[in-house]
Chains A and B, each alone.
Chain A
Amino acid sequence: MSYEVIGITVLWVFLYGYLIVASVDFGAGFFSYYTKRTNKNHIIHNIIQRYLSPVWEVTNVFLVFFFIGIVGFFPQTAFYYGSALLIPGSVAIILIAIRGSYYAFATYGAKESRFFTFLYGATGLLIPASLTTVLTISEGGYISYEDGHVQLLYGELFGSLYSWGVVILAIVSVLFISASFLTYYASRAQDKGALDLLRKYALIWSFPSIIMGVIVFFLLGGRNPEHFSNMVDLWWMFAISFLAFAAATYLIWKRRNYGTAFILVMLQYFAAFFGYGVSHFPYLLYPYLTIYDGFTNETMAIALISAFIGGLLMLIPSLYFLMKLFLFDADYVQGKK
């Protein structure tokens, strides 16, 4: 494998990691707020707090990892994306800032605040929407490049069906991933009330998520035919994704094996996300930037890959420890610790 491919694979894996952990987090914030509004918060409040409190900061790191990593491996992306994304990027920063700090204020501060929960819940749905801009513009046609100046075409972005499709897909996926994880977590906690409610949410959001997936798949055909035909060549990855979805929903429906169901949901998004990524290959930003012309020098690539391996050797045991203490410790999950 060339360094370029290693680099993009590493980053894509981290982006996928962010997709999963952040979805759980964003969705949990939304459900927490929504149940507060409908006076059902007492049912799921504990489940959500017990999961989120120790991990919220870790979630954030996945994102930082991705955007620092991409500048390290592909410095030219800083030029194109950095120039184009000033406003959507700043909007994302503001939302992330509000969400992160108000979560801490609400959780560790002295008293509960309805307003803080609102900020936390609302931003959770807007962040995925603002972050998807990056994926949208990577398809090409949304930016202009003239005399060395990169500009985002806002009219094109806001007027395109594809970009709205991606936004809706992101939001419904967040709610589905989150609900299916929390269903599993509630079942571990043997919390019947929370389980019933969350299972209902998972089922409610399952169909919109798969339907939007299909719609976006075809909308992309109109946007970027080259990418679309690559995706059709990789049809089997999307078929795996669909089968995983069907099996996961079936299990949740039948109230069985919630753990397996969540793994299947992860597989569903893994197959779709990697299918999307591989078919986008080799472009980072169609048609301006490929992974080959945007790549860093060889020495830096070797240094980054070494740092990456060293970092993983340190991170994996630590993450395992974290999960063992808070995710797989039955007593903690059930609130006995």
Chain B
Amino acid sequence: MFEYDPVLYSRLLTSLTLGFHAIFATLGVGIPLMIAIAEWMGIKRNDPHYTLMARRWARGFVVIVAVGVVTGTAIGLQLSLLWPNFMQAAGHTIGLPMFMEVFAFFFEAIFLGIYLYTWDRFKSKMKHFLLIIPIVIGATASAFFITTVNSFMNVPQGFEIIDGAIRDVSPLAAMFNPATPTKISHVIITCYLTAAFVLGAIAAFNLLKGRNHVYHKKALHLTMVSAAIFAIGTAVIGDFSGKYLHEYQPEKLAAAEWHFETESEAPLILGGILTEDNEVRYALEIPYALSILAGNTPDTVVTGLNDFPEELHPPLWVHYMFDLMVFIGMYLAAISALFVFMNWMKKWNAFRRPLLWAVVAGGPLSVVAIEAGWIFAEVGRQPWIINGVMTVAEGATASPHVDIMLYVFIVLYAVLGATCIAVLRRMFKSNPAEHELEERGIAHTKEQNVN
């Protein structure tokens, strides 16, 4: 197919592993929070439906976590195997957050084991609820630490290079670089948003299948209220991210927006295609919007791609990824807000089929947005692995066998993904919520209180 090039294959294999891991990692960070909210509601309202919800989500969560853990282990090792030179430099500068991420993971792992096996062990429900808190903290802290590593790759700081050697390292400065605040907040909140939508999609799907139990309605309401809040947060942070890019990585912003000439009053380009000679066709242009996104005023001067040497341009197709991410983000915000609003208007019925279908679509779409966002963020930094310091080619291994490994891992992830879906389906199909409610003798409690 291609001429063998370890750099190309290393990139493909890394993106394959990360792309697969991202699905499970995102849900792994987001779902514990949703479980915590459900369990909390169960205690506060003394409503066993919510408690069961937490319990069922937790059961599915373990399977997701298992795949997340093993693919996380895979990417952790692969970084050293595929990018030995990069990891050598990274060890000197950002060894600290990588190390702390493992501690966070450790913390989460310990309490996850305890949480799952102590549902009926403590007399006080509150005690059991407290056990989910370290899991939420551990999961979010992992995302926090590992994202600082990625932030560093975008805005490296906290070290000097003197005669090719890394000197004067400040691990905290490297961790808390200008990219850190926007990246972390964006990653964490979109994890929550995705988890809320995926769980919401399951509830909506059950309702569509005619399982009209109040349990599913409560699940849908809980997830959509959470999703609406997270979606607003995502939009606000997205705006900050635009300003960050303008200031620190203008070439990434310019590539995302096909913005070639440095100018003020720059328009934002939505959709469209790019011709061979870099002309934008069929796009929707919003006047001034890019300048406003970058600096809050229409007269903000936005740096264009032509100001950068061509060999340092990121690939221009990242525009499609950027648009995909933004469109889905807006879609998720609109659907969840619509649901919450309709449910709030007592006379309206939020549980209509078209809206339910829209929520179902939101589940997979939110995962697509996560992937698109990551691809945009990572490819938008090409050709650098550490922005401005080390190129991707300098970081890669020279091993002659990366291609075989790529094929082997494709098979592995295909098998893991397929079994994971099959196992999850079987778990919940063979034991639907209604059945479990009946079994636990809570089938009809509180039903009359719900509109």
- Known interface pairs A300-B95, A318-B111; A79-B100 also in contact (CB < 8 Å): no
Q: List 9 A-B contacts (CB under 8 A).
A: A54-B113, A54-B114, A60-B109, A83-B84, A93-B77, A101-B70, A104-B65, A299-B169, A303-B96
What residues of chain A lie closer than 8 Å to B167, measured between beta carbons? 297
Bound CA span A79–B83, Å = 8
Is B110's CB under 8 angstroms from A318's CB?
A: yes
Is B88's CB under 8 angstroms from A79's CB?
A: yes
User: Which of A26-34, A63-71, A172-180, A183-191 lies at the interface?
Assistant: A63-71
Is B77's CB under 8 angstroms from A67's CB?
A: yes
Is B87's CB under 8 angstroms from A321's CB?
A: no
User: Which of A108-116, A203-211, A256-264 lies at the interface?
Assistant: A108-116
What residues of chain B lie closer than 8 Å to A75, measured between beta carbons? 87-92, 95
Is B367 engaged at the interface, CB distance under 8 Å to the other chain? no
User: Which of B46-54, B116-124, B262-270 lies at the interface?
Assistant: B116-124
Is B306 engaged at the interface, CB distance under 8 Å to the other chain? no
What residues of chain A lie closer than 8 Å to B73, measured between beta carbons? 60, 63-64, 93, 96-97, 100
Is B99 engaged at the interface, CB distance under 8 Å to the other chain? yes
Is A232 engaged at the interface, CB distance under 8 Å to the other chain? no
What residues of chain B lie closer than 8 Å to A68, measured between beta carbons? 76, 98-99, 101-102
Q: B96: which of A65, A300, A315 is its contact (CB, 8 Å)?
A: A300
Is A318's CB under 8 angstroms from B107's CB?
A: yes
Interface size class of A (residues with CB under 8 A): 35 or more
Bound CA span A85–B399, Å = 9
Q: B408: which of A54, A78, A94 is its contact (CB, 8 Å)?
A: A94
Hey, which bits of chain B sit against chain A, CB under 8 A?
59, 62-63, 65-67, 69-74, 76-78, 80-85, 87-93, 95-96, 98-103, 105-107, 109-114, 116-118, 121, 134, 166-167, 169-172, 397-399, 401-402, 405, 408-409, 412, 416, 419-420, 423, 426-427, 430-431
What residues of chain B lie closer than 8 Å to A55, measured between beta carbons? 113
Bound CA span A103–B74, Å = 17
Instruction: With CB as the reference atom, state the residue of chain A lying closest to B158.
Output: A299
Instruction: With CB as the reference atom, state the residue of chain B lying closest to A73.
Output: B95
Q: A326: which of B77, B113, B416 is its contact (CB, 8 Å)?
A: B113
- Known interface pairs A61-B102, A65-B106; A326-B117 also in contact (CB < 8 Å): yes
Is A105 engaged at the interface, CB distance under 8 Å to the other chain? yes
Is A82 engaged at the interface, CB distance under 8 Å to the other chain? yes
Bound CA span A194–B423, Å = 30
Bound CA span A193–B225, Å = 53
What residues of chain A lie closer than 8 Å to B134, measured between beta carbons? 318
Q: Determine the main DSSP class of A at the interface with B.
A: helix
What residues of chain B lie closer than 8 Å to A110, measured between beta carbons? 423, 426-427, 430-431
Is B106's CB under 8 angstroms from A315's CB?
A: yes
Is A157 engaged at the interface, CB distance under 8 Å to the other chain? no
Distance from A152 Cβ to chain B, minimum over Cβ atoms (Å): 9
What residues of chain A lie closer than 8 Å to B117, measured between beta carbons? 53-54, 325-326
Is A162 engaged at the interface, CB distance under 8 Å to the other chain? no
Is A57's CB under 8 angstroms from B399's CB?
A: no
Most buried by A among B80, B101, B111, B427: B80
Interface string of A298-312 (1 = CB under 8 A from B): 011001100110110
Q: A296: which of B77, B95, B112 is its contact (CB, 8 Å)?
A: B95
Is A72 engaged at the interface, CB distance under 8 Å to the other chain? yes
Instruction: With CB as the reference atom, state the residue of chain A lying closest to B112.
Output: A57
Most buried by A among B95, B116, B169: B95
What residues of chain A lie closer than 8 Å to B170, measured between beta carbons? 299
Bound CA span A303–B105, Å = 19
Distance from B175 Cβ to chain A, minimum over Cβ atoms (Å): 9
What residues of chain A lie closer than 8 Å to B92, measured between beta carbons? 75, 296-297, 300
Known interface pairs A75-B88, A104-B66, A322-B110; 20 further A-B residue pairs with C-beta atoms within 8 A, sorted by A's residue number? A55-B113, A57-B109, A64-B105, A78-B84, A82-B87, A83-B398, A86-B397, A90-B78, A93-B73, A96-B73, A97-B73, A97-B412, A98-B416, A105-B66, A297-B92, A297-B166, A308-B99, A311-B100, A311-B106, A325-B114
What residues of chain A lie closer than 8 Å to B80, measured between beta carbons? 67, 71, 78, 81-82, 89
- Known interface pairs A72-B98, A296-B95, A297-B169; A92-B77 also in contact (CB < 8 Å): yes
Distance from A79 Cβ to chain B, minimum over Cβ atoms (Å): 5
Q: A101: which of B66, B100, B172, B397 is its contact (CB, 8 Å)?
A: B66
What residues of chain A lie closer than 8 Å to B78, measured between beta carbons? 89-90, 93
Q: A71: which of B85, B98, B420, B426 is its contact (CB, 8 Å)?
A: B98
Q: B114: which of A109, A151, A303, A321 is its contact (CB, 8 Å)?
A: A321
